[in-house]
Copies of this chain bind each other. A is one copy, B any other.
Amino acid sequence: MTGADALIQTAVAAGIDVCFANPGTTEIPLVQAIDNSHEMRAVLGLFEGVCTGAADGYARMSDKTALTLLHLGPGFANGIAYLHDARRARSSVINLIGEHATWHIPADPPLHSDIESLAAPVSHWVRRNKGAEFLASDMADAATAAQIFPGRTASLILPNDYLLAETTAKYELPSRVAPPSVDHSAILQAAKLLRENQPSALFLGGYALRARGLRAAARIAAVTNCELICESFPTRLERGAGLPTLKRLPYFPEAGRKLLAPFGAIVLVGARNPVTFFGYPDSPSYFISPEQKNSVLATPEEDIATALEALADELGAPANVGNFAELIRPEIPQGQLTPEKFTAVVSALQPEGAIIMEEGISSVAHYFVQSGGAPQHSYLSQSGGAIGLGLPCATGAAIACPDRPVITLQSDGAAMYTLQSLWTQAREGLNVTTLICNNRRYQILEIELKRAGIKEAGKKARTMIDLDKPEINFVQLSQGLGVPAVRVNTAEALAAELQKALHEDGPHLIEMML
């Protein structure tokens, strides 16, 4: 058995059985070890960002640990952006990063670089393997690190000579650690704040946005009349008919502060104290003002659902409450597509159990409200802000949940970062429907220029905003990557094509001219 075999066998023993891979020469022993393994599945990405973004999506939807296989420093670097997102999403991801043979590194070969320095900013845990006999234990330690609730990113740097060397060393996996319980004082404090400060709100994130946490939150709302508000960019929010309704914190500081302003107290549950995405002049970093009382019921890494249930009990909430969303869908609109009509069509047609990956940037403002009464679905968004997560994250989500349809609401500019994901969707026959919002510009930059007081962007500024010269044809791009595609201009055409795509197996792309 090679060191690489020992590593892959340990990964399988830790419950890890999908590897999003883009290997090179130094990773050949791992390619061979995956080939030798019955359990490990390899999913090829044509670009490393596809692998890391898919790992994030897979981890979010499977609640398992995703593996990536990347080629040395530069290959890893191509995956950093979506590991940044995965770290912010608290997804459980382990990166297997190939490294030159140890004896070759002093010669500083062309592809050599400081992998630790690249890995540190996006990894909770980084280790360089020191020999074949440690590959099993290093993998086990990486799994332990990555499986700290709700999930962490771990990076393992793997010299080629150690991967190739024979070893018999195995390693007993420690049992998985449950998330720490919340101290009872936090429950009492939250109860006090909610009782004594009206109106109040629960600000929910992370695992608070799964069904169990949401049901407990609804119990709390039923007795305290508190508002339920979720993070601007939830990692995974379970929602739709039969689940509690909540509001989402708006992206821009003014709107966000306006939503939160009425509340005398805000209790944070599985969410950080919310921070504006960017720092704007004369606008503070935090949404919650210093005059507002707040407390932390549970951090994102504590046992959030149990804490919410304990708080509901403490408040004397009944076990069953009725304040859940009803099945109400918008009508399918007619005529020339607009952003609002596009999201109305999706809200009207998305099937039960759909996974919605949203990276629509400026084109999806209305979706969240329109889809609140759609059948139950999982809603994923871009937790870390690294543009281009939509397509790969949807790809990984579809690998995790082959029986659920995935719909990606995708802006055109962001789609162009990791369009290669479509090829992996075709290769794996994934049920993903990608809806491209083609508005032929980085509209968010246009908005931000206006916010910065620039009424009309100059000619050269426009060359950095407009995407219309040449126009990108997403139908051709999609077909070139093996995914059937169609372009639509009207709401009725979108409705017809979306229904068709959802009824046919395999991936589809619909380009919407907005």
Contact = CB atoms under 8 A, between A and B. Distances in A.
Contact of A481 (B81, B285, B417, B470): B470
Contact of A107 (B80, B286, B427, B476): B286
Nearest to A232: B110
Contact of A121 (B35, B100, B114): B114
Interface stretch (A127-135, A176-184, A443-451): A443-451
Interface string A434-463: 000000000011001100101001111101
Given A417-B46, A480-B474, A25 B161 contact: no
Q: Copies of this chain, how many?
A: 2
A107 B470 contact: no
B103 A279 contact: yes
A348 interface: no
B104 A279 contact: yes
Contacts of A503: none
A317 interface: no
Interface stretch (A214-222, A305-313, A370-378, A381-389): A381-389
Contacts of A330: none
A370 to B, nearest CB: 25
A109 B278 contact: yes
Interface in A91-111: 100-101, 103-104, 106-111
A469 B121 contact: no
Interface stretch (A9-17, A26-34, A255-263): A26-34
B480 A277 contact: no
Interface in A459-510: 459-461, 463-464, 467, 469-477, 479-482
A419 B50 CA distance: 14
- Most chain B CB neighbours (cut-off 10 Å) among A104, A107, A419, A464: A464
Contact of A420 (B44, B84, B416, B482): B416
A464 B44 contact: yes
A464 B40 CA distance: 13
A289 to B, nearest CB: 14
Contacts of A459: 35
A473 to B, nearest CB: 4
A81 B72 CA distance: 10
Nearest to A280: B101
Contact of A461 (B34, B71, B384): B34
Nearest to A427: B469
A459 B103 CA distance: 32
Given A121-B117, A160-B279, A417-B46, A385 B21 contact: no
A461 B423 CA distance: 18
A77 interface: yes
A114 to B, nearest CB: 4
A194 to B, nearest CB: 25
B472 A423 contact: yes
Contact of A279 (B109, B117, B384): B109
13 contacts: A24-B387, A25-B278, A34-B461, A42-B460, A74-B81, A77-B84, A78-B78, A100-B278, A101-B281, A104-B279, A107-B279, A110-B384, A426-B470
Given A74-B85, A477-B477, 5 more contacts: A21-B464, A47-B416, A47-B417, A78-B80, A110-B385
